[in-house]
Structure formats: C-alpha cells, structure tokens
Structure 1
Amino acid sequence: MSLRRREVDVRGYRELAEELRQRIDDGEFASGDTLPRIVDLIDEYNLSRQTVRDAIGVLADEGLVVTMGKGGTIVRNRTRVRIPLNRYTRVLAPGGSKGPWETACAQQGLDGQMKVVHVARVDGLDDVTNELGLPPGSELLYRRRYALIGSDDVVQVQHAWYPASVADEAGISGDRKIVGGVFGALTAAGYAPATATEQIESRMPTSTEATQLKISGKVPVLAVQRLTKAGDGQVLELLRTTAPADRIQLTYDDLPLL
C-alpha cells in the first residue's frame, strides 16, 4: 500500500525516501523533472519539514536527485555513457567535426558536447611538469572543459595541460572550442598521438567537483588520468577527468594479451 494512503501518523524519512524513489523509478518523475515542493510533500504525506528534508537528503546521497536551492529538487539524469578506448583512434585524422567525447556520445544517439570553460598559460606545478617530462616551472597551456550531454548536463570535468610550444604550434592556445578535437589538431601540426596511458581510481568528490557535476558529496566519482605521447616518446598532453561513477562506462575491447 502506498505511503500516501496509510493512515499512520508517525512515518520515518526512510519510508518517504523509498516512496519517492519508487515514484522516480516508475517514471512519474522523469530526468529533469522537479519534485513537489517541500511544503507540498509535507501536506501530501502529513510529515514534518525535517522528515521531508531528510528523505530528500537520502535521495541526493544516492544520486537520484540534486537540490538546487530555490530551483527546487531536480531528478538527476543517470544516462550512462559508454566510452570505448577506440574513441581516440577515430579522431586522429585532422578535419573532423567531433572530438572523442562527442564521437562516443554520437555512437549512442546522445547529443555530446564539449564546452571550454577556462584557458590560460601557467607555470606548471611540479606534479604536472613531472608527468609531462618537463623541468619544474615550465610554461604550459592549461585548458578546463566540461563534457556535456545537451547544453547543461555536465558529465565530466576535464583538466588538460600541454607544453606551451606544442599548444601554440597546434593552434589550441586560444579559448575557442577545438572543432574535431585536440588530437586532430596535434596530428595536423606534426605531433601525432601514438600512445595513451590511463590510470583510473574511484573516490569521493571534492566540494568543487560536486558543485561542478551537480551531485551530492556522497556520490562516488571516477578519476581518470591520461598521458598521451607521440611516437618519439614526447608527452603531448596530461588530462585529468572526473565524472560521477554512475554516468560513464569505460570499455577496453580486444586488448592484446601478448
């Protein structure tokens, strides 16, 4: 029997969370929908404000909803994006119109977009220059990007660093989006990516990451670090990506075992 129909005066927040979870799973509230206001849920379920808040907190911690202050409580998009390793090789040729993220999304009928958030010339931090094989303090080109589905669903936050001279030659130093992706631009400039090494870990998000990804601080994220090298071993890019663990599926098909 639905919680709304029970004639019981005392109900716990976990029961309410289960009821709202079921309504979301049944499609009554779809991705992007706003849940009823707290005052409406108080009236509908005859519960205290704190009980309703606690129930919504449970759903936010589970990644089902995101609270937007005066914007209400929004049902979170949990569409999972399959990201195959071959997304790189498909965008190496210059002149293409889609980068790796956009290519992976398009294969699943999703409107993947890449948004440039910040570009700057920086003196590299020791851990970054060390990964790039450069002397400490070397000038780098830093690019922060959002990988989105549609215009506002941020699925990944990407931080990328390049040797400044390589970035300048490849024409990726500006704050514009690189049509066709950075790999195509590097290839056109004579810096064809040859190998990519990825390290993946699961952890809890920082407060900044949670805000950027519109998730609760209790939703785990996958943190991926990718190091891309040219055929001669020169490191071309250090990329660090963070995404909610329930939004992406990294796949590595048919890798050679010998």
Structure 2
Amino acid sequence: MPAALCTDSYPVQRKSSDRFRRAHRKAGKAAYQAETEQSGSVPSVNVLFVGPAEAPEDIADRLGVPPGAQVLARKRRYFRDGVPTEEATSYLPWQVVKDIPEMFAENPGGGGIYARLEEHGYGLVEFTETVRARLASKAEASALALSPGAPVIHLVRNAIVADGSVVEVCDTIMAADQFVLDYRFPATD
C-alpha cells in the first residue's frame, strides 16, 4: 500500500536574507520564533541543557579553541504547533560568555543569545552555514518524533564578529519535511 503524507500546515521557510536580521532581535524575537510566526504557526521551545561542556573536536575547530576546552553549551528542542521540528545545541567560547549571566539562564531574554552577545560588545557581522541532508539516527528520530530512517537536515552555523572570531557555533538537526531553506547570494565580486 503506498504511503501518503498529509499535513495541514506549510513548512517553515528559512530565508537567508531575513533569518538573522538585527531588527528581529531588537523586536525581542529569536530567529525560530520570527520564522515560525511568519508561517502562521505557534513556536515553542524546551531547554534541555545549559551549562559548561567540553568542546567536541569539530566544534572546537570552528571556535578556534582546543578540543575538549570548556565552552558553554545550550541545547534546545523547538516545536511548531506542538510538533518537534528541530534540536539545536549552541556552543560558545567560555571567554566570551563567562561575564554574561543571561547566557547561563534558560531564557536569555528577548532576542535570544545573539541580542545578549551584541549588548556586550560582540557585534555580529556574518553567519556561515554548512548544510547536509542525511537520514536521522535512532536518537534524532526519537527526539523529533520521526519515523525510522526519516530524512533530516544537519545545519551547522558559525556566528562571526568583526575581527573574524567565531563567537557561537550552532549544531542543528531539523526534520527535513518541516523546513524550506531559501538562500540568497550576491552575484557581484
């Protein structure tokens, strides 16, 4: 018997040109909240962990710290109309966050961690993302209420400040059927 996918809602559209606009942070909204509301849905988030952790090798390389160095990890699960859609862990260098108490709170305040970084002198100038499609692991399928072997998007983002330093790496697993990634690139040199 053929399988059918029935859904009453459209996927969340993540527009590269709009996703991390400073205006969203100034309005007190984190990126996921703004995007989910734009899709006509209700966003929510469960904080799974906030605290010190050892930087995994791939994350340490992106942050420019030694593997195993102490970083702040912030792990969250995001929901759209009560359905889990993504799980993300942000890793921030300890030297950057140690004097920003809001970063250690479950709710860092309006605009999220990017707003707190900017308030403390870390003006974000660029984001880079590495995007890969693959099948969900057993743990990922369970966390996102997916069928075994369902496709996911593995997105790893660097948040970069003016001197080129990476002040956050966000490692995200997304239910592939819940998102459209919309990228915009300049055509000029």
The answer to whether the superposition gives a TM-score over 0.5 is yes
The reply to whether residue 122 of structure 1 matches residue 53 of structure 2 is: yes
TM-score by length of 1: 0.66
Give secondary structure in 2 for the equivalent of 1:130.
helix
Could you list the per-position Cα deviations for residues 150-174 of structure 1 after superposition, in whole angstroms to 9, with x for gaps in the alignment?
Answer: 3x31111101100123223343122
The structure whose residues are more often strand, as a share, is 2
The reply to whether residue 161 of structure 1 matches residue 95 of structure 2 is: no
Counterparts of 1:61-140 in structure 2, within 5 Å, are 79-85=10-16, 86-91=18-23, 93-94=25-26, 96-140=27-71
Runs of 4+ in 1 over 3 A off after TM superposition: 90-94
Distance in 2 between the 1:226 and 1:91 partners? 20
Deviation at 1:127, TM superposition (A): 2.0
1:73 is matched with none
Counterpart of 1:166, as a letter, is V
Counterpart of 2:130, as a letter, is Q
Give secondary structure in 2 for the equivalent of 1:198.
strand
Tell me which structure has the larger Cα radius of gyration.
Answer: 1
Matched residues, percent identical?
24
Distance in 1 between the 2:23 and 2:57 partners? 30
Distance in 1 between the 2:9 and 2:115 partners? 30
Could you list the per-position Cα deviations for residues 114-165 of structure 1 after superposition, in whole angstroms to 9, with x for gaps in the alignment?
Answer: 3211112012222221110112332100011112113x31111101100123
Higher RCO, 1 or 2 (CA under 8 Å, sep at least 6)? 2
TM-score by length of 2: 0.88
1:249–1:140: structure 2 CA closer, same or farther, 3 Å change rule? same
The reply to whether residue 146 of structure 1 matches residue 47 of structure 2 is: no
Give 5+ residue unaligned stretches, structure 2.
none
The structure whose residues are more often helix, as a share, is 1
Number of corresponding residues: 186
Could you list the per-position Cα deviations for residues 181-240 of structure 1 after superposition, in whole angstroms to 9, with x for gaps in the alignment?
Answer: 111111111111111111111100111100000011221111111011101111111111
Give 5+ residue unaligned stretches, structure 1.
1-13, 26-30, 32-76
Distance in 2 between the 1:114 and 1:149 partners? 9
RMSD over aligned Cα atoms: 2.0
The reply to whether residue 246 of structure 1 matches residue 177 of structure 2 is: yes
Check whether the contact 1:78–1:247 (CA below 8 A) recurs between aligned residues.
Answer: no
1:148–1:130: structure 2 CA closer, same or farther, 3 Å change rule? same
